[in-house]
Amino acid sequence: MRRRHPLQTAMKNLLNVWKPRSLRFRLTLGIATVSAVGLGGVAVWLGWTMESILISAHKDNVLYIAERMPNNIEIYQQMYPQPQALQKAVANMSRDNVFLWIENQQGKIIAQTGGLEELQPLPVSPKTANFPLPGISISEVNGRYWILCANPLSVNNQRIGELYIAQDISADQMMFLQVIRNLGVATVIAIGGMTVAGGIYIKRSLRPLQRICQLTESISAEHLGNTRIHLKQAPTEVKQLAERFDEMLLRLHRSWEQQRQFVSNVSHELRTPLTIVSGYLQSVQRRGSNLNEVQREALAMASSETDRTVQLLADLLTLARVDNGQMQFQLERVCLNEFVEQTIGLAEQYHDRPIHYKPLSHEVFVQVDRNRLKQVLLNLIDNAIKYSEPEQPITLSVEQKDEMGIISVRDRGMGIPLAQQTRIFERFYRVDEARSRSTGGTGLGLSIVKTLVEGMKGEIHVSSQLGKGTTFTVSFPIVD
């Protein structure tokens, strides 16, 4: 067998818990998306605003230097010769992290932060960075962040050259990036937290729906009348749904009752006249000595179909009584060994098939309704005879097992396919319609048998093998 990769197994488990088509998954995904877009948007806007404020503060500083420089030079020129005045003005305007220098029109540096004598190499220059001329820009050079400014410099309408200003804003920028990183982490945690909290909240909110789902699974026609969905602390919409559902159950229950009543009434009304018709047909058959062969056959056919219909109506009436709760069981202590022997004697009066009996050495007593159990056994014997070849024997036995008295009815007939074994107890279910029709059944026999057995607190089981035969076992708790 191919082994699954642990990741595949984990994925499968996750999909089982989080069914992608479920409402819970979709709502949680919705919350995750909305919080990602909302919080992400706020974080981006916050970052962008902070950067704008930071940069505009630095820009103002650089622009101030660029604006003041000609005035400063003018003042120093009144006291010093021009080269010295330029250097003094540059030194005066220099600040921490702000580098200034002036180039003459030939591109030669004529004043610089730190003084020309020491001529410190500048950290940025027009060769290494892209200075906008004229203007102001921000760029990254060798891993550091700079505000760069270059302006033409004129004093007393006399062009001196270009003034370059470079302010190192790396420390502030690093701090800003750190804040952005923290903001990003906080945003991701907040989105995760909101998704988890939302998921839990949605799961709780959907609980009433799950309860409705569980309840609907257990609803059957028999329990329509007393099944109601009681929801505590459910959202209004779900409560309304449950109320509508209850109303629907009530309507279904009423129409189901009407249908039962109708079947019961029709069966009752038809059975009496049909029984009379059957009696007349039999009497005509017996007395009609002047009937020809064709007439006799027609009468025999009409008589057997009428009997079949009378039996069907009797079965329907029995089921209607059970459904309406009108079936009464006269439970009494019965010795199974003796009872089965008597029923076999009765069955043998109607059938010429040999019925074998395996009695138990000791007596077994159960609490049953004699007439109903007789009906059950005769029905099972009848089926065993119908669905096996005429030469095959039928075997009945009585056993005791685990405090249960068990009667088995076994035939060596055609058997029942495994897939159908659970369905044969359903009303009107017949394994093979064509085959069953020739045997004259109605498909109600086993459902009546099961209802009667369960009404007497017993159980019925079937085991069968195609072509080999079928065994029905009926068991009841033993009494002393």
Cis peptide before 134 (omega within 30 of 0): yes
As measured in angstroms, the least distance from the Cβ of 300 to ligand ADP is 21
CA distance 42 to 47: 9
Q: Does 271 bind ligand ADP (CB under 6 A)?
A: no
Residue 456's nearest CA partner among 393, 369, 376 is 369
Structure letter (DSSP) for residue 88: H
> Is 470 one of the binding residues for ligand ADP (CB under 6 A)?
yes
Tell me if 383 contacts ligand ADP by CB under 6 A.
yes
**Candidate segments 17-25, 128-136, 345-353, 413-421, binder of ligand ADP by CB under 6 A:** 413-421
Task: Classify residue 422 as exposed, middle or buried by CB count within 10 Å of its CB (0-12, 13-18, 19+).
Answer: exposed
Among 336, 387, 451, 475, binds ligand ADP (CB under 6 A): 387
Binding to ligand ADP by CB under 6 A, coded x per residue (else -) over 339-378, reads ----------------------------------------
Closest separation in Å from C-beta 446 to ligand ADP: 3
Q: Where are the alpha helices (DSSP H) in 336-420?
A: 336-350, 370-386
Residue from 160, 234, 340, 424 that binds ligand ADP (CB under 6 A)?
424
The CA distance from 100 to 167, in Å, is 9
313 touching ligand ADP, by CB under 6 A: no
Task: Please choose, out of 232-240, 361-369, 382-390, 451-459, the segment that lies near ligand ADP by the rule CB under 6 A.
Answer: 382-390
CA distance 428 to 430: 6
> 131 vs 472, which CB is nearer to ligand ADP?
472
Residue 458 in contact with ligand ADP, rule: CB under 6 A? no
Residue whose CB is less far from ligand ADP, 171 or 418: 418
Handedness of CA 7, 8, 14, 17 (dihedral sign): negative
Residue with the shortest CB distance to ligand ADP: 441
Q: Give the separation between CA 247 and CA 239, rounded to whole angstroms.
A: 12
Q: Distance between CA atoms of 148 and 265, rounded to whole angstroms?
A: 102
Name which of 199 and 443 has its Cβ closer to ligand ADP. Answer: 443
Residue 446 DSSP code: H
Please, what is the minimum distance in Å from the beta carbon of residue 464 to ligand ADP?
A: 7
Q: Among residues 87, 411, 450, 458, which is the contact residue for ligand ADP, using CB under 6 A?
A: 411
Residue whose CB is less far from ligand ADP, 211 or 321: 321
Nearer to ligand ADP by Cβ, of 329 and 429: the residue is: 429
Residue nearer to ligand ADP on the CB measure, 195 or 383: 383
Give the x-and-dash track for 436-455 against ligand ADP (CB under 6 A): x----xxxxxxx--------
Q: For ligand ADP, which stretch binds (CB under 6 A), given 9-17, 34-42, 194-202, 410-418?
A: 410-418
Structure tokens at 64: 């101030």
Looking at the Cβ atoms of 348 and 363, the one nearer to ligand ADP is 348
User: Applying CB under 6 A, does 94 fall inside the site for ligand ADP?
Assistant: no
Q: How far apart are CA 130 and CA 105, in angstroms?
A: 19
Phi/psi at 239 (5° precision): -60, -40
Are the beta carbons of 229 and 211 closer than 8 angstroms?
A: yes
Q: Which pairs from 262-268 meet CB under 8 Å and 24+ separation?
A: 263/316, 263/320, 264/316, 264/317, 264/320, 264/321, 264/324, 267/313, 267/314, 267/316, 267/317, 267/320, 268/317
Could you list the residues that contact ligand ADP (CB under 6 A)?
A: 383-384, 387, 411, 413-414, 416, 424, 430-432, 436, 441-447, 470
